[in-house]
């Protein structure tokens, strides 16, 4: 009976056990309700294949998709005081930071890296919306400034992938001061003659859209991205008017001249390389073509007509 107790019964119990399925195995499209397998979605750069809806993309994965071969070097950013005001609402701000770091695996909301796009050196910063909604605090401001200074030092274009709910309220005036500080960094790039390209992703709002996110030489938006300062409900209550359904979308801003182009995620690399190549006056190496072979010399039409003229045939040599 030993083998029945130790082998048969456990196998029977396993048949009745509920199998645990990971929650993120299938992703639902917010527009169409289509279910997409997570690996297929990741392979398509977090874009729903049929609807084209752009889902939120992890910051590290965005850097891997941006640079050649997925290779890049992290730019070291300064450390700042974690909780300068000892702020507390429903919980301590220091506890929120710990939770965000444990959940995202990152120290702050902004990642800065350097690499190559189509063989051209770039410096890029990406805001991680999963880290306290990508809010702009002291550490994020310092990271953006460090990336801009590194771009000036290495003479590379600077690309900013913006995704944020605005300034970080837990840091008060210190977070608002990052708006003029990052504006100074943008001015440094301009004085150095380096391109500053902003890619507006979903969502880009608040103090971020009121500062460095709208100061680029070129503004590119991802399809369907929500871009604005105040929320739709606040604006409707203020102006007491019904706003258009597509208000504050990337396409709406393109029609009204607020962004320069709306580019799908799959074409972002080539678009950035082309734009910055033009702005940096990069020399383009054209393929060398062999010169066409010249045809063998032929008698001219006049000489051919002269030879066929019967008068010339009858006339002999002069005596």
**pLDDT of the chain, 319 residues: tens digit per residue:** 565 666 656 666 665 555 554 556 899 999 888 899 999 999 999 999 999 999 999 999 999 999 999 999 999 999 999 899 999 989 999 999 999 999 999 999 999 999 999 999 999 999 999 999 999 999 999 999 999 999 999 999 999 999 999 999 999 999 999 999 999 999 999 999 999 999 999 999 999 999 999 999 999 999 999 999 999 999 999 999 999 999 999 999 999 999 999 999 999 999 999 999 999 987 655 556 677 776 655 555 556 556 565 555 555 555 4
> Rounded to an integer, what is the distance from CA 319 to the centroid of its chain?
92
pLDDT at 127: 97
Q: State the pTM of this model.
A: 0.81
pLDDT at 234: 93
* C-beta separation of 93 from 127 below 8 A: no
Token duo for residue 262 = 């709306």
pLDDT value, residue 319: 43
Residues contacting 270, CB < 8 A, separation 6+: 118
Domain CATH code at residue 255:
3.90.226.10
Q: Is residue 299 part of a domain?
A: no
In this structure, is residue 301 part of a structural domain?
Answer: no
Angstrom distance (rounded) from CA 280 to CA 296: 46
Query: How many structural domains does the chain have?
Result: 1
Note whether residue 171 is domain-resident.
yes
Does a structural domain hold residue 310? no
Considering the domain boundaries, does residue 316 fall inside one?
A: no
Whether 11 is in a domain gets the answer no
Q: What per-residue confidence (pLDDT) applies to 25?
A: 85
Which residues form the domain of 154?
57-279
Per the domain annotation, does 303 fall within a domain? no
Q: Comparing C-alpha atoms, which of 245, 195, 199, 255 is closest to residue 222?
A: 199
Distance between CA atoms of residues 281 and 293, nearest Å: 34
Give which of 141, 148, 115 is closest to 127, Cα–Cα.
Answer: 141
d(CA 154, CA 151): 5
> For residue 216, what is the enclosing H or E element?
none
User: Residue 46's pLDDT is what?
Assistant: 95
User: Considering the domain boundaries, does residue 106 fall inside one?
Assistant: yes
Question: 62 and 161 in contact (C-beta within 8 Å)?
Answer: yes
């Amino acid at each position: 009976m030993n083998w029945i107790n130790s082998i048969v019964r456990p196998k029977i119990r396993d048949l009745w056990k509920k199998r645990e399925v990971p929650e993120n195995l299938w992703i639902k499209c917010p527009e169409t309700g289509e279910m997409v397998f997570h690996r297929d979605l990741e392979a398509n750069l977090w874009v729903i294949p049929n609807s084209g809806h752009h889902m939120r993309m992890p910051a590290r994965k965005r850097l891997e998709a941006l640079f050649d071969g997925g290779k890049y070097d992290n730019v070291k950013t300064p450390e700042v005081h974690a909780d300068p005001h000892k702020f507390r609402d429903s919980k301590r701000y220091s506890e929120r930071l710990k939770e965000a770091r444990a959940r995202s695996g990152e120290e702050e909301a902004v990642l800065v890296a350097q690499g190559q796009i189509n063989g051209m050196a770039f410096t890029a910063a990406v805001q991680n919306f999963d880290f306290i909604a990508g809010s702009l605090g002291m550490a994020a401001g310092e990271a953006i400034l460090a990336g801009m200074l590194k771009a000036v030092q290495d003479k590379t274009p600077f690309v900013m992938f913006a995704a944020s709910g605005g300034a970080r309220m837990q840091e008060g005036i210190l977070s608002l001061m990052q708006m003029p500080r990052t504006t100074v960094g943008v001015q440094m790039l301009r004085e150095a003659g380096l391109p500053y390209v902003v890619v507006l992703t979903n969502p880009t709002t608040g103090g971020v859209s009121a500062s460095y996110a709208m100061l680029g030489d070129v503004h590119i938006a991802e399809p369907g991205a929500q871009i604005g300062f105040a929320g739709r409900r606040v604006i409707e209550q203020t102006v007491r008017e019904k706003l258009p359904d597509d208000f504050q979308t990337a396409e709406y801003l393109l029609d009204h001249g607020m962004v320069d182009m709306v580019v799908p995620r799959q074409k972002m690399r080539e678009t950035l390389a082309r734009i910055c190549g033009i702005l940096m006056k990069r020399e383009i190496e054209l393929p060398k073509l062999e010169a066409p072979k010249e045809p063998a010399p032929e008698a001219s039409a006049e000489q051919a007509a002269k030879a066929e003229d019967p008068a010339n045939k009858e006339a002999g040599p002069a005596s």
